[in-house]
Amino acid sequence: MKLSSIIAALEELAPPSFQENYDNSGLITGDPSLEIRAAVVSLDCTEAVVDEAIAHGADLIVAHHPIIFSGLKKITGKNYVERVIIKAIRNNIAIYAIHTNLDNVANGVNKKICEKLRLENLKILSPKKDLLKKLTTFCPSAVAEKVRIALWSAGGGVIGNYDSTSFSVEGVGTFRGNEESNPVIGEKGKLEREPEERIEMIFPSHLEKKILAALRLSHPYEEIAFDLVPLANRWNLVGSGMIGELKNEIALEKFLSEMKIKLKADVIRYTKIENKKVKKIAVCGGSGSFLIASAIAAGADVFVTADLKYHQFFDGEGKIVLADPGHFETEQYTIDHLTDFLKQKFPTFAVRQTGINTNPITYLT
């Protein structure tokens, strides 16, 4: 299996353009042309995980957290990051990280948490904007449907729970080719008038090359007229956190007790609200304090996230329960998600979950 094929699949699941600007998702070590025999999936890439990959003959580690967040000026082995990189390169092991881009997709880290908590009616808590574009093009009316279908097949026209969306209006296009032209319709040097359709369609920005390729293949004209316009619209399929509902309203203490079991948490830190009944639950795997205001605005009864500081617990303002079961605890099922995805995508490829608990925190209970 070529590493490039595995990367292409992972980036289809979570496009790199969806990652936060501080992040370092993507290929950390390795050559995309490498032949990969087996992969290990882990939350973190530690020295122990690299040793595990070596022991099992794996040439790839797929980790949620990037081992390198900022630039390395020297690689001398003085800390665990440098030692991991040295050992991986020495043993020809590729490392691929799929971090905040997987956090930000609808079928990602937060959906897995919601599934574990058995939440329904799931939505992105804080959708992102500036990730969409609109294509406007003009084509002969006779081939308009062919062009629409080609653009839909390339990923255009998806809005929320609807696909194959577009807008069209009929009109008359005019054109005159010079002596170097080779017009499909009419004659060079002669002004032509052709019944045309103006087609408008929204698409994710990261699919621009694919959309334009589909347009060129399906459109008959030698020169294609089109506009690309960036949109400030929020995209409800991409963003931070997720919110959903329990099937039935339950007491806060019961919810927390069940969550403690489902997330295998030794400790849950939370803000207590007396006699609180809960139904609407917001979640954000890992460090999600930046979403407290969004969870309150969305009407959540509880916001489940990690790495909350002492003073941030006051930000609930008595309006919402803030519950922190731990960073590793909220993200651990990402390993299951990635393993299942790779096995489904590549049924004959050897994928194994790490047998190492990479949680650096131990609780005395």
Tens-binned pLDDT, residue by residue, of the chain (365 aa):
899 999 999 999 999 999 999 999 999 999 999 999 999 999 999 999 999 999 999 999 999 999 998 888 899 999 999 999 999 999 999 999 999 999 999 999 999 999 999 999 999 999 999 999 999 999 999 999 999 999 999 999 999 889 999 999 999 999 999 988 888 888 889 999 999 999 999 999 999 999 999 999 999 999 999 999 999 999 999 999 999 999 999 999 999 999 999 999 999 999 999 999 999 999 999 999 999 999 999 999 999 999 999 999 999 999 999 999 999 999 999 999 999 999 999 999 999 999 999 999 999 87
Do 128 and 104 meet the contact criterion of CB atoms below 8 Å apart?
yes
Return left, alpha or beta for 150; rule: phi > 0 is left, psi -120 to 50 is alpha, else beta: alpha
Parallel/antiparallel/unpaired status of strands 269-270 and 321-324: antiparallel
The pLDDT of residue 109 is: 97
Do the beta carbons of residue 136 and residue 151 sit within 8 Å?
no
Q: What is the C-alpha to C-alpha distance for residues 244 and 255, in angstroms, rounded to an integer?
A: 14
- The sign of the CA dihedral 101, 104, 107, 108 is positive
- CA–CA dist 337, 96 (Å, integer): 15
| Contact residues for 60 (Cβ-Cβ < 8 A; gap 6+) | 3, 6, 30, 36, 38, 39, 40, 53, 93, 94, 95, 96
Angle at the Cα of 119 from the Cα atoms of 116 and 120, rounded to 5 degrees: 135
Please tell me the pTM assigned to this model: 0.91
- pLDDT of res. 43: 98
What per-residue confidence (pLDDT) applies to 71?
Answer: 82
d(CA 64, CA 13): 13
pLDDT of residue 303: 98
* Residue 186: per-residue pLDDT: 87
Helix then strand count (H, E) for the chain reads 11, 15
Q: What is the pLDDT of residue 300?
A: 98
